[in-house]
Amino acid sequence: MRYSTLIIISITFLVNFKVLFSQTAPTKPKLGVLLVFDQFRGDFISKWQDHFVKDGILRLTSEGTWFDNCHYPYSGTLTGAGHATLTTGATPSVHGIIGNDWYDRKEGKNSYCAASPRWSSIPPIPEQPSTLNPNEKEKKRLGGTPEKLRSETLGDALKRSTNKQGKVVSLSFKDRSSVLPAGMTPDHCYWFDTSSGKFQTSNFYAAKTASWLTDFNESKIIEQWRNKSWEKLHPEKDYEMFSSPDELTGEGNGKNQGKIFPHPFGKIEKDYYDALYNSPFGNNILLELSKRAIKSENLGKNEHPDLLLVSFSSNDSVGHSWGPDSQEVFDTTLRTDLLIRDLLIFLDKEVGKNNYVLALSADHGVCPLPEFSKIKGKESGRIPMDKFAKEIESTLQNKFGKLTPPAKYLEAFSDTSAYLNYGTLKANSVKLDDATAFIKNWALQQPGILTAFSSKEIIETNSNSDPLLISVSKSWFKGRSGDITFILKPYFIPGGYLTGTTHGSPHAYDTHVPLIAFGGGIKPHLIKEKVSPQIAASIIAEGLGISAPAASEFPPPKHIWLNKAD
């Protein structure tokens, strides 16, 4: 009798121990989430955190690891480069996406980073209006493809690690912000077409869109702001105290939305989708699509880990129009906080609190409006680069000899880089090094130019080089980059437009972005040491228990995990 009782007690203990162990043993999350908020500058969190709700951004920073000093290590801080870097863990000098566009010598024209005429849109886009810029009209006809990316992405790594069983879904308003993170073989890759008001893909990925996307496109959810206005989220709050006056010299007009609140949608029928994109509500649409994807694809509930990549583009569009110190950006940031709260609540419910690992970052920061910088006593300005390029050509001809049109020494100019015509140089017995050295010396005398670097200087960069040269070298890719790269002085921006602002420099306001890691296995931590956003990919990979992208430069820091020693 005693032996029988002992056996029963032993069996009961083992069963209870097994149940207890299965409840407490750490398990790997089944869903990785990368959130990118385009042009969400790194100081926005500290600057405006007193206005956030407790369970949005503040939940991430208090319950997760917040890297408060996160900077891109390269100079060309543009959307394509940032998204490629976040998901490959490499710099443009490795993954090849040096910007949104670059000059292709073989084609004799600019090449877009995330599309090609070899592919077409699904569903087909409508005929483009004749008023559209010819370059933009051409770009819209291209089908999305990641083929110009030269490194494996986090999505590719997940497919490799799970024998193609894990799901990868990538969503954004911008094509490049969905295509580049997705990699070569995502299950779904969608972006928004402002001419039709629908999300689309290309036949690089599939012959048709998923039924849940088709249903989403056919719903009227995107029409809910017609004949309405973008009002301030908190009309009782003194926005000027926390940002700037509602109308500043240098602010843009958006998509015919006006410079001051409220910004109407109803008065601009033909521009409605553009105006929606250029407001915080474009982010709301993407949030709803993300929820639809999670539920329809059962993300985080499958046998193998899944990956959701979401890039919110509206922050960037608003910032370009009105500037980072505007009341519009302040309001958009407050609404971003609420969006994050809503997404976290949804993930907790649908996927499980400890069943996802999340990283939040941005693809770049942004420069203040030059006019606002002048008010603050800073030297600043706008440099029309097309005029700058013509001055380079004129200066070269004055130095090395006049040419008979259409011959030119300068073959092309893209972003802030010059591409010299090798045939013209050879025909006129001009050495490339002599031409670039002359251009550099000339450029240093021009207003707003800080310095310039030739391709030879960039190639010969080493660890002891000027830090600015090192940052330029990390943006340089053979066969795509120009022969000489110009760096503008702080608070100067390139471009011929007279309003709004941009990014793309190695200065701190452009390189500084947020980075927060959150979710299963990550502990609360504030890290002040300088890091690169490159670690985002390896953090998610580590959280899911998969291999990091092959070219990822940095392993995930061990001290952010609850179950790892410092």
Instruction: Record the pTM.
Output: 0.93
Q: What's the mean pLDDT when you consider all of the chain?
A: 93
Q: Are 329 and 435 in a shared domain?
A: no
Q: Residue 12 above 70 pLDDT?
A: no
Average pLDDT over residues 546-559: 94
Q: Residue 283 above 60 pLDDT?
A: yes
Average pLDDT over residues 427-433: 97
Specify if 11 maps to a domain. Answer: no
Specify if 139 maps to a domain. Answer: yes
For 166-191, the pLDDT digits (tens) are 999 999 999 999 999 999 999 999 99
Domain of 397: which CATH number?
3.30.1360.150
Q: Are 268 and 182 in a shared domain?
A: yes
For 454-492, the pLDDT digits (tens) are 999 999 999 999 999 999 999 999 999 999 999 999 999
Residues in the chain: 566
Q: Are 427 and 341 in a shared domain?
A: no
Q: Are 365 and 385 in a shared domain?
A: no
Predicted pLDDT of residue 556: 86
Q: Are 523 and 390 in a shared domain?
A: no
In 130-261 the beta strands, taken as DSSP E runs, fall at: 143-144, 168-172, 188-193, 198-202, 229-230
CA distance 334 to 336: 5
Q: Are 422 and 551 in a shared domain?
A: no
Q: Are 479 and 528 in a shared domain?
A: no
Q: Which domain holds residue 405?
A: 381-490
Q: Which of 22-31, 125-134, 481-490 has the highest mean pLDDT?
A: 481-490
For 319-360, the pLDDT digits (tens) are 999 999 999 999 999 999 999 999 999 999 999 999 999 999
Specify if 270 maps to a domain. Answer: yes
Give 4: exposed, middle or buried? Use CB within 10 Å, 0-12, 13-18, 19+. exposed
Helix (H, G, I), strand (E, B) or coil at 393: helix
Predicted pLDDT of residue 469: 98
Domain of 187: which CATH number?
3.40.720.10
Predicted pLDDT of residue 33: 98
For 356-393, the pLDDT digits (tens) are 999 999 999 999 999 999 999 999 999 999 999 999 99
The residue out of 490, 524, 551 marking a domain boundary is 490
Predicted pLDDT of residue 134: 61
Q: Residue 524 above 90 pLDDT?
A: yes
Average pLDDT over residues 498-523: 97
Token pair for 223: 């029409």
Q: Are 441 and 317 in a shared domain?
A: no
Average pLDDT over residues 540-554: 97
Q: Residue 288 above 80 pLDDT?
A: yes
Specify if 499 maps to a domain. Answer: no
Confidence tier at 136 by pLDDT (50, 70, 90):
low
Confidence tier at 139 by pLDDT (50, 70, 90):
low
Q: Are 90 and 201 in a shared domain?
A: yes
Average pLDDT over residues 65-81: 98
Q: Are 208 and 338 in a shared domain?
A: yes
Specify if 22 maps to a domain. Answer: no
Specify if 495 maps to a domain. Answer: no
Predicted pLDDT of residue 5: 40
Confidence tier at 3 by pLDDT (50, 70, 90):
very low
Average pLDDT over residues 23-46: 87
Whole-number percent of the chain with pLDDT over 70: 92
Q: Are 55 and 128 in a shared domain?
A: yes
Average pLDDT over residues 494-509: 96
The residue out of 456, 490, 524 marking a domain boundary is 490
Predicted pLDDT of residue 343: 98
Lowest-pLDDT range of 16-30, 240-254, 511-525: 16-30
Token pair for 326: 């505007």
Q: Residue 23 above 90 pLDDT?
A: no
Average pLDDT over residues 69-88: 98
- In the chain, the amino acid numbered 35 is L
Specify if 502 maps to a domain. Answer: no
Domain count, the chain: 2
H, E, C per residue of 457-481: HHHCCCCCCCHHHHHHHCCCCCCCC
Q: Are 363 and 387 in a shared domain?
A: no
Q: Residue 20 above 70 pLDDT?
A: no
- Is residue 124 within 8 Å of 94, Cβ to Cβ? no
